[in-house]
Chains A and B, each alone.
Chain A
Amino acid sequence: KAGVTQTPRYLIKTRGQQVTLSCSPISGHRSVSWYQQTPGQGLQFLFEYFSETQRNKGNFPGRFSGRQFSNSRSEMNVSTLELGDSALYLCASSLGQGYSYEQYFGPGTRLTVT
């Protein structure tokens, strides 16, 4: 079974621009979660989508948004980029129900904001 894929893998943007990152979950998984990883803050939860609905949201400003499509693929968008948004953005998929939180992570998109 194919793993979680994220595109693009690397991205360089300028302050003030916006960016869209894409995540394709494992086939059959209905939940997609997004995380931001920086050296200073570590891994932080952004939000989770399940069956096209946002089920939970972390403590990030409204510039960070996401959506999920009917095929469970997900995108996240960051508007008005700031230097501090430079990070590794990770997507994780899971079944989304049951008592387990086995999440399977993609390789991440490394975003650099200049």
Chain B
Amino acid sequence: DAKTTQPTSMDCAEGRAANLPCNHSTISGNEYVYWYRQIHSQGPQYIIHGLKNNETNEMASLIITEDRKSSTLILPHATLRDTAVYYCIVRVGVFQGAQKLVFGQGTRLTINP
């Protein structure tokens, strides 16, 4: 699986959009980009994933560059409850593949009032 690089920490003001970047320059054509987050002492929470098109759900939007070498997770209106560690993971899509996720160190996002 391709390696990802994320900033160690970021700050964002409450109510503003939080944009979390992820670099995955060695990504291959069949690898998906996944985002999870972990609020302190809880289990990680799935947020969103995508292959090459931009994706949006009720939690966030995922923007993947055309060359797929980087992506940005957008939380449109950040709240204090969005303070968490955000993990960007790249994973090959295999129809009945083992559900192994390799977590890096992630980005610690702090939402400030």
Q: A-side interface residues toward B, CB under 8 Å?
A: 4, 31, 33, 35, 42-45, 48, 50, 55-56, 58, 88, 90, 92, 94, 96-108
CB distance from A48 to the nearest CB of B (A): 5
Contact A97 B43 (CB under 8 A): no
Q: Identify whether the interface residues of B are mostly helix, strand, loop, or mixed.
A: loop
Query: Is B44 in the interface zone, CB < 8 Å from A?
Result: yes
Residue-by-residue, is B35-57 near A (CB-CB < 8 Å gives 1, otherwise 0)? 00010011111100100000000
7 contacts between A and B (CB under 8 A): A33-B99, A43-B103, A50-B96, A92-B43, A94-B99, A103-B46, A105-B44
B22 smallest CB distance to A (angstroms): 16
By the criterion CB–CB under 8 Å, are B46 and A45 in contact?
no
Q: Which of A43, A48, A88 contacts B98 (CB 8 A)?
A: A48
Residues from chain B with a CB closer than 8 A to the CB of A102 are: 46, 49
A residues less than 8 Å from B98 (CB atoms): 48, 50, 55-56
User: What 5 additional pairs, Cβ within 8 angstroms, besides A31-B99, A88-B41, A103-B44?
Assistant: A58-B100, A101-B32, A102-B49, A108-B41, A108-B42
* Alpha-carbon separation in the docked complex, A51 to B38 (Å): 28
Q: Which residues of B contact A55 (CB under 8 A)?
A: 98-99
Hey, which chain B residues are within 8 Å of A104, CB to CB? 46
Question: Hey, which chain B residues are within 8 Å of A101, CB to CB?
Answer: 32, 34, 49, 91, 93, 99, 101
Q: Within the complex, what minimum Cβ distance (angstroms) separates A110 from chain B?
A: 8
Give every chain B residue within 8 A of A88 (Cβ-Cβ): 41
| B43/A106 in contact, CB under 8 A | yes
Chain B positions 72 through 109: 1 when the CB is less than 8 Å from some CB of chain A, otherwise 0: 00000000000000010001011110111111110000
Looking at the assembled complex, report how far the CB atom of B45 sits from the nearest CB atom of chain A, in whole angstroms: 7
